[in-house]
Protein backbone atom coordinates (compact mmCIF):
# COMPACT_ATOMS: atom_id res chain seq x y z
CA UNK A 1 0.00 0.00 0.00
CA UNK A 2 1.16 3.50 -0.83
CA UNK A 3 -0.40 6.73 0.38
CA UNK A 4 0.37 9.73 -1.76
CA UNK A 5 -0.28 12.97 0.09
CA UNK A 6 -1.95 15.70 -1.88
CA UNK A 7 -1.51 13.97 -5.23
CA UNK A 8 1.69 15.80 -6.05
CA UNK A 9 5.19 14.72 -5.26
CA UNK A 10 6.41 18.22 -4.47
CA UNK A 11 8.02 18.33 -7.89
CA UNK A 12 7.55 21.05 -10.45
CA UNK A 13 4.74 20.70 -12.96
CA UNK A 14 6.03 19.49 -16.31
CA UNK A 15 5.21 21.34 -19.53
CA UNK A 16 4.24 18.89 -22.23
CA UNK A 17 3.88 19.89 -25.86
CA UNK A 18 5.01 16.88 -27.90
CA UNK A 19 1.84 15.33 -29.36
CA UNK A 20 -0.24 18.31 -28.20
CA UNK A 21 -1.44 21.39 -30.10
CA UNK A 22 0.16 23.60 -27.44
CA UNK A 23 1.50 23.22 -23.93
CA UNK A 24 -0.36 21.18 -21.34
CA UNK A 25 0.88 21.00 -17.75
CA UNK A 26 1.32 17.60 -16.15
CA UNK A 27 1.79 16.50 -12.55
CA UNK A 28 2.78 12.88 -12.11
CA UNK A 29 0.74 11.27 -9.32
CA UNK A 30 1.77 7.64 -9.61
CA UNK A 31 3.72 5.32 -11.90
CA UNK A 32 3.64 1.59 -11.20
CA UNK A 33 4.73 -1.49 -13.09
CA UNK A 34 1.80 -3.82 -13.85
CA UNK A 35 2.45 -7.48 -13.15
CA UNK A 36 5.67 -8.81 -14.64
CA UNK A 37 8.30 -6.94 -16.62
CA UNK A 38 6.83 -6.26 -20.06
CA UNK A 39 3.22 -6.15 -18.83
CA UNK A 40 3.23 -2.38 -19.05
CA UNK A 41 2.67 0.41 -16.58
CA UNK A 42 -0.09 2.17 -14.71
CA UNK A 43 0.47 5.91 -14.92
CA UNK A 44 -1.68 8.45 -13.10
CA UNK A 45 -1.26 12.12 -13.96
CA UNK A 46 -3.13 15.35 -13.41
CA UNK A 47 -3.14 17.29 -16.67
CA UNK A 48 -4.22 20.89 -17.20
CA UNK A 49 -4.88 22.07 -20.74
CA UNK A 50 -4.95 25.80 -21.40
CA UNK A 51 -7.63 27.08 -23.81
CA UNK A 52 -7.29 25.62 -27.30
CA UNK A 53 -4.80 22.93 -26.29
CA UNK A 54 -5.65 19.35 -27.17
CA UNK A 55 -3.88 16.07 -27.65
CA UNK A 56 -3.24 14.58 -31.04
CA UNK A 57 -5.01 11.35 -31.95
CA UNK A 58 -3.67 8.49 -29.83
CA UNK A 59 -4.52 5.19 -28.23
CA UNK A 60 -3.61 3.42 -24.98
CA UNK A 61 -2.65 -0.23 -25.01
CA UNK A 62 -4.64 -0.97 -21.82
CA UNK A 63 -7.21 1.82 -21.98
CA UNK A 64 -7.56 5.07 -20.07
CA UNK A 65 -9.86 6.52 -17.44
CA UNK A 66 -10.25 10.31 -17.38
CA UNK A 67 -11.76 12.08 -14.36
CA UNK A 68 -12.58 15.68 -15.16
CA UNK A 69 -11.90 17.77 -12.08
CA UNK A 70 -12.15 21.34 -13.37
CA UNK A 71 -13.08 23.37 -16.42
CA UNK A 72 -14.61 22.33 -19.69
CA UNK A 73 -13.19 20.42 -22.60
CA UNK A 74 -13.78 18.08 -25.46
CA UNK A 75 -13.19 14.39 -25.98
CA UNK A 76 -13.42 12.70 -29.34
CA UNK A 77 -13.13 9.27 -30.85
CA UNK A 78 -13.15 7.94 -34.41
CA UNK A 79 -16.63 6.46 -34.04
CA UNK A 80 -18.18 8.46 -31.20
CA UNK A 81 -17.77 12.00 -32.52
CA UNK A 82 -16.90 14.88 -30.21
CA UNK A 83 -18.47 15.54 -26.82
CA UNK A 84 -18.23 18.37 -24.31
CA UNK A 85 -17.03 17.30 -20.85
CA UNK A 86 -17.07 19.20 -17.56
CA UNK A 87 -16.03 18.74 -13.93
CA UNK A 88 -17.41 15.48 -12.54
CA UNK A 89 -17.55 13.69 -15.88
CA UNK A 90 -15.78 10.35 -16.17
CA UNK A 91 -14.59 9.01 -19.52
CA UNK A 92 -13.44 5.44 -20.12
CA UNK A 93 -11.62 4.76 -23.37
CA UNK A 94 -11.19 1.02 -24.00
CA UNK A 95 -7.83 -0.50 -24.94
CA UNK A 96 -6.77 0.46 -28.45
CA UNK A 97 -9.54 2.98 -29.19
CA UNK A 98 -8.19 6.02 -31.05
CA UNK A 99 -9.23 9.25 -29.37
CA UNK A 100 -8.18 12.72 -28.27
CA UNK A 101 -8.94 15.08 -25.38
CA UNK A 102 -8.33 18.67 -24.37
CA UNK A 103 -9.68 22.11 -23.56
CA UNK A 104 -12.30 24.03 -25.47
CA UNK A 105 -11.09 27.14 -27.30
CA UNK A 106 -12.15 29.42 -24.45
CA UNK A 107 -11.71 27.41 -21.22
CA UNK A 108 -9.12 25.38 -19.37
CA UNK A 109 -9.62 21.67 -18.69
CA UNK A 110 -8.07 19.72 -15.83
CA UNK A 111 -8.40 15.95 -15.70
CA UNK A 112 -6.83 13.11 -13.81
CA UNK A 113 -5.71 10.48 -16.32
CA UNK A 114 -5.33 6.84 -15.31
CA UNK A 115 -3.45 5.28 -18.21
CA UNK A 116 -2.81 1.58 -18.66
CA UNK A 117 0.01 0.38 -20.88
CA UNK A 118 1.84 2.18 -23.65
CA UNK A 119 0.46 5.16 -25.53
CA UNK A 120 0.80 5.31 -29.32
CA UNK A 121 0.55 8.75 -30.93
CA UNK A 122 -0.81 9.74 -34.34
CA UNK A 123 -1.63 12.94 -36.23
CA UNK A 124 -3.11 16.19 -35.00
CA UNK A 125 -6.89 16.41 -34.85
CA UNK A 126 -8.00 18.57 -37.75
CA UNK A 127 -11.52 18.06 -39.01
CA UNK A 128 -13.62 17.20 -35.98
CA UNK A 129 -13.16 20.26 -33.76
CA UNK A 130 -16.48 21.93 -32.90
CA UNK A 131 -16.88 25.61 -33.72
CA UNK A 132 -16.05 27.92 -30.80
Q: Which one, of 64, 70, 75, 23, lies nearest residue 41 by Cα?
A: 64
101 and 74 in contact (C-beta within 8 Å)?
Answer: yes
- Minimum Å gap between C-beta 107 and Mn ion is 19
- Using CB under 5 A as the binding rule, whether residue 104 contacts Mn ion is answered as no
CA dist 69 and 111 (Å) reads 5
- Minimum Å gap between C-beta 85 and Mn ion is 12
Q: What is the number of other CB atoms lying within 10 angstroms of the CB of residue 119?
A: 16
122 and 56 in contact (C-beta within 8 Å)?
Answer: yes
Binding letters toward Mn ion, positions 7-46, x by CB under 5 A: ----------------------------------------
Binding letters toward Mn ion, positions 61-90, x by CB under 5 A: ---x--------------------------
Subset of residues 47 to 66 that bind Mn ion, contact rule: CB under 5 A: 64
The contact set with Mn ion (CB under 5 A) reads: 64
Amino acid sequence: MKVIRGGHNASASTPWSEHFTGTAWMDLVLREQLGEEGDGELVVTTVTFTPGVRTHWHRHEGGQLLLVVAGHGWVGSRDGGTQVVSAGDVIWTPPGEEHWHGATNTTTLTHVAVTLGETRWFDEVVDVIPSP
